[in-house]
Structure 1
Amino acid sequence: MAVHGIDLGTTYSCIASVDDVSRPTVHRNQEDTDTTPSVVFFETPENVVVGQTAKDSAVIEPDLVVSRIKRDMGHEVTRTMHGRPYTPEEISAFVLRKLAADAKTATGVTVDDVVITVPAYFGAAERDATRKAGRIAGLNVIDIISEPIAAAITYGVLNPGQDARILVYDLGGGTFDTTVIALSGGDIEVVCTDGDHELGGADWDDRLVEHLAERFRQEHPDVPDPLDDKQTEQQLRRDAEELKKTLSTRTRHVLRVMHEGRVAKVEIGREEFEALTRDLLDRTIEITRKTLNTARGKGVDGFDHLVLVGGSAKMPAVTEALTKELGVTPRLQDPDLAVAKGAALYAFEETYRRLLSSGDRTDQSRAEEMAARAGLSDGQRQEIAGRTIRTVASRAFGIKATASNTRREYVAHLVNANDALPADVTEGFATLDDFQTRVAIEVMEQAGAVASDVIEDNNKIAEGDLRIPPGKPAGYPIEVTFSLDASGLLHVTAKENETGERLELSVQIGGMSEEEVAESRAALSRVQVS
């Protein structure tokens, strides 16, 4: 059976699987490139174009093109195209369908079971939305795993038998994560993680766009602002991305900014570019420093290897800044493809382990068939069967509570950022008033970089009411249990023990109910994706 790993990126995505000699292999798309731009062009209500053609179309039809949708995952926002509103899950599903279709064209194998990666700092809402996007695309999402874990799996497979502590610096197109991971005896353990899901290479592009536009304004002050024209803006964004890549290999470059029949010749050097974006890079260094401090607090006082992941990590300034800050030379770990390859390895290994341990003879036969097809030795089979992967919570989770004496509302956190997963935590609470007949359970997730008990510093991600038996005095006890699985998906249970009344919250996040997901899957299956 074929299983695939998908790196669903902010700016670029790719898909991989394990080949017949147990190597992770990225499948090239129909345009014959390893990565596909995560851009969607709504050409007509019945036809959607994904990838480079969609990206090129943004210059001509900017109002019908959506990019960077990953930054909206987990938020209740829509984009209306041809009179129909589309959720971030639905738009991401088009990207996933393109990847799956191209992989089938390349290999002849239908893509069904997949593992999709997300930034380590994604919370429950974003992870839930990503899983739903996969289901809308018609895929069976085996698991959601963090991108640094996928990168660490790739690193571990390429460096077998080496126990090491790894600092993964992952600067993608739209998100940034830094994670400390321990490899020991083939097992992988995430020590801690931190990041910013609104900081990535696209922000470097934005600075260049503004700089190019400003240089045009200075040269042609009598012409309308180029950023007020959507077509010119999209062209500037294309130019900025290419300029960023060029300045990673050259020290200077000249390009022409054209708008309203006027031209501005702009020359920019690498040093000027780095000065324009210094605060963005400094922010990644600050987060890296904070992550290492957290690791020290958990008994890990250093690291053996610094691994760079993500296309934007190829900027020379990244290596220079990290070398200066940490005193070590980073390793570029196949930055564009390492995450997809690691996801493919995890998908293969996790499927193999589940089939092998199911107790069903048919499943065990399928596991042996997988191993044989991948050319695994007996030693490799034993290593995979015994491998464990342990991760941590990316954020703090709790419930809205009220102090009985002051009536101050605050967030009582049951799971804290960097707690080991899976986590099952139960805490006792109590009613506030005599004869209370219900208790509102409001599930909260840390919103900022640091956990806070202030209501406004958290996002409400689920809610429900727990019924209380009549006639009970203030202080009547209830229990709340948070179960956060290794994928970062949350289940909440509230109960009172006298009658056994329970409230089960599978944390309905991201705005799409299970019924809406099923309806969307059926409706979008009729839309042609190319």
Structure 2
Amino acid sequence: MTAYGIDLGTTYSCIARVDETGRPTVLRSLEGTDTVPSVVFFESADNVVVGAAAKDGSVLEPGLAVSLIKREMAHGTLYRRHGRTYTPEEISAFILRKLAEDARVATGETVRDVVITVPACFGAAERDATRKAGEIAGLTVVDVVSEPVAAAITYGLLTPGQDRTVLVYDLGGGTFDTTVITLRGGNIEVVCTDGHDELGGADWDERLMEHLVEEFTLEHPDVDSPLEDQQAEQQLRVDAEALKRTLSSRNRHVVRVAHEGRVARVEFTRETLEELTKDLLDRTVEITRRTMRTAAAKGVRDYDQFVLVGGSTKMPAVAEALRRAFGVPVLIQDPDLAVAKGAALYAFEETYRRLLRSGDHAGAEAVAERAGLTTAQRERMADRTIGTVASRAFGIVISGEPGEARSVLHLVHANDPLPASVTEEFYTVVPDQTVVDVEIVEQAGSAESSRLDDNTRIAGGQLPIPRGKPKGWPIEVTFDLDSSGLLHVTARERETGEHLDLRVQIGGMSEEEVRASRTELSRVRIG
């Protein structure tokens, strides 16, 4: 009955579980690495390759590879390969299947129950798409947990019995989050969160790649730009990422750029890297400052530590900038693996608590005994709570008199405690109105706004109204946002009750499409 934690990352992913000593352990891939590149290469219609081999294949045949898929979750992007169209959920499912298979080989047991992490800045649609990706992969998704919460769980393991207030600064390959968290008596409480879903190490790589191209063009002005050739561009992306990693531990490195029989030898320093990417780092500092202002409004002003997670925090400039800007002690905590380990701990503990809640005390004890937990540890685990907040505001589109501009009324606001349940009454705008359009939106920018253009439509449906009703006939709408950040909306016309109950499901793929995809893609071989 082992449950696994999965860090489904933009650029790298990994899987972990709690071992027989009660410690979270990352399971190595078949290639012998802790993390797997989040790259999918479509070798044929019946065979896909995931991981390091897929990343290598992307250099030779970039048109058959897909990377950075996490940035496209719930955005409606489609990918056509070998005559079939794939959604981001399906491509993510291939990565999840690879992780599950590697774990099966490492442990000898089939992976079924999983907790998958997502950026704190992910909204309801992205979280639901992540859950569906797990289902397409043939997994049972126990929960979807924010990455900073998972990191805080790992941090709590390192500082048992200590009450702390920390800010988790999570700079991954494709996303950035800042989350203020309190740890009190073993319980975890999220105060507030902020971030950007398109700001991460990949953007640093892009800057380095652009500079390499500029240097090559200066030396060989009579040759086309390497960016005009897909293979050359992909090789430059690989070289840029390797350069960034090298300059995290060295002050100087030389990159050889080859294109159309010409070669440019580009010398790079850490100082050059920091100059080229200063504005990116400054953006993370400003988001951190904004998060701290939100926390201060909630009464939190003092911090014990900044906890840095995500592979991109290994760049020395990150910790230096935070110390300089805020004067708070900085801990770089197992940046590549902390999230997966925290997810594994959460999966383990949640399995134990769910067994207790269901009355299966024998099953719960078996889980605890397998990890060698003491009675005191079991009691703490049974009582532990994790409080989270909404990452964004969610609302409904409303209309005034005919001809008036539509606007948005938010029922749930960013950083509201979860779970949240809000019911609001709305009214028809014309006599004898026979249908109401229910449009659900999510805050799109960094600030809540009632302007329609500042929100993203994430779901919708129509609610019938009995004929002959006057203008101002009441409609009841309820928003239920669970602790995982998944939204469920119910609209009801109360006179006829359940016959006019509309349930609006969030996410790009319907449950029927998920089931069909799970069946179809199960026949595709993962290499």
1:406 CA displacement: 7.7
Query: Does the aligned pair in 2 maintain the 1:215–1:266 contact within 8 Å?
Result: yes
The aligned counterpart of 1:475 is 472
Aligned pairs for 1:76-87 (under 5 A) are: 76-87=76-87
Question: Are residue 270 (structure 1) and residue 270 (structure 2) matched?
Answer: yes
TM-score, normalised via structure 1 length = 0.98
User: Which of 418, 422, 425 lines up with 1:421 in the alignment?
Assistant: 418
1:47 CA displacement: 1.0
Question: Are residue 411 (structure 1) and residue 408 (structure 2) matched?
Answer: yes
The aligned counterpart of 2:330 is 330
For 1:174 and 1:278, the matched residues in 2 are separated by 17
Query: Does the aligned pair in 2 maintain the 1:424–1:483 contact within 8 Å?
Result: yes
The aligned counterpart of 1:394 is 391
For 1:105 and 1:431, the matched residues in 2 are separated by 59
1:333-384 Cα offsets, whole Å, 9 max, x none, are: 111000000000000000100101112xxx2211110000000000000000
1:466 CA displacement: 1.5
1:301 CA displacement: 1.5
The aligned counterpart of 2:160 is 160
User: Which of 493, 497, 509 lines up with 2:494 in the alignment?
Assistant: 497
For 2:47 and 2:474, the matched residues in 1 are separated by 56
- 1:160 aligns to what SS in structure 2? coil
1:502 CA displacement: 3.6
Opposite residue 39 of structure 1, the aligned amino acid is V
For 1:285 and 1:301, the matched residues in 2 are separated by 17
How much is the aligned-residue C-alpha RMSD, in angstroms?
Answer: 1.0
User: Which of 505, 523, 527 lines up with 1:507 in the alignment?
Assistant: 505
1:158-193 Cα offsets, whole Å, 9 max, x none, are: 211111111000000000000000111111110000
Give the unaligned 5+ runs of structure 1: none
- 1:408 aligns to what SS in structure 2? coil
The aligned counterpart of 2:122 is 122
1:425-463 Cα offsets, whole Å, 9 max, x none, are: 011111111111111110011111111111111111111
For 2:495 and 2:294, the matched residues in 1 are separated by 42
Aligned pairs for 1:231-380 (under 5 A) are: 231-359=231-359, 363-380=360-377
Give the unaligned 5+ runs of structure 2: none
Query: Does the aligned pair in 2 maintain the 1:432–1:474 contact within 8 Å?
Result: yes
For 1:394 and 1:478, the matched residues in 2 are separated by 27
The aligned counterpart of 1:227 is 227
1:267 CA displacement: 0.6
Opposite residue 27 of structure 2, the aligned amino acid is H
Moved over 3 A (4+): none
1:405 CA displacement: 8.9
For 1:115 and 1:458, the matched residues in 2 are separated by 29
Question: Are residue 522 (structure 1) and residue 526 (structure 2) matched?
Answer: no
For 2:461 and 2:236, the matched residues in 1 are separated by 47
The aligned counterpart of 1:444 is 441
Query: Does the aligned pair in 1 maintain the 2:10–2:70 contact within 8 Å?
Result: yes
Opposite residue 471 of structure 2, the aligned amino acid is A
Query: Does the aligned pair in 1 maintain the 2:79–2:87 contact within 8 Å?
Result: yes
The aligned counterpart of 1:189 is 189
Query: Does the aligned pair in 2 maintain the 1:490–1:506 contact within 8 Å?
Result: no
- 1:59 aligns to what SS in structure 2? helix
For 1:56 and 1:364, the matched residues in 2 are separated by 49
User: Identity across aligned pairs (percent)?
Assistant: 66
For 2:255 and 2:176, the matched residues in 1 are separated by 29
Opposite residue 283 of structure 1, the aligned amino acid is R
- 1:255 aligns to what SS in structure 2? strand
User: Which of 443, 449, 453 lines up with 2:450 in the alignment?
Assistant: 453
For 1:307 and 1:503, the matched residues in 2 are separated by 45
The aligned counterpart of 1:488 is 485
Opposite residue 16 of structure 2, the aligned amino acid is A
Query: Does the aligned pair in 1 maintain the 2:119–2:175 contact within 8 Å?
Result: yes
Query: Does the aligned pair in 2 maintain the 1:251–1:269 contact within 8 Å?
Result: yes
Opposite residue 443 of structure 2, the aligned amino acid is Q
Opposite residue 34 of structure 2, the aligned amino acid is D
1:446-505 Cα offsets, whole Å, 9 max, x none, are: 111111111111111111111222222111111111000001111111112222254332
For 2:336 and 2:122, the matched residues in 1 are separated by 20
Query: Does the aligned pair in 1 maintain the 2:388–2:417 contact within 8 Å?
Result: yes
- How many pairs does the alignment contain? 526
For 1:517 and 1:217, the matched residues in 2 are separated by 47
For 1:91 and 1:300, the matched residues in 2 are separated by 40
The aligned counterpart of 1:466 is 463
The aligned counterpart of 1:108 is 108
- 2:60 aligns to what SS in structure 1? coil
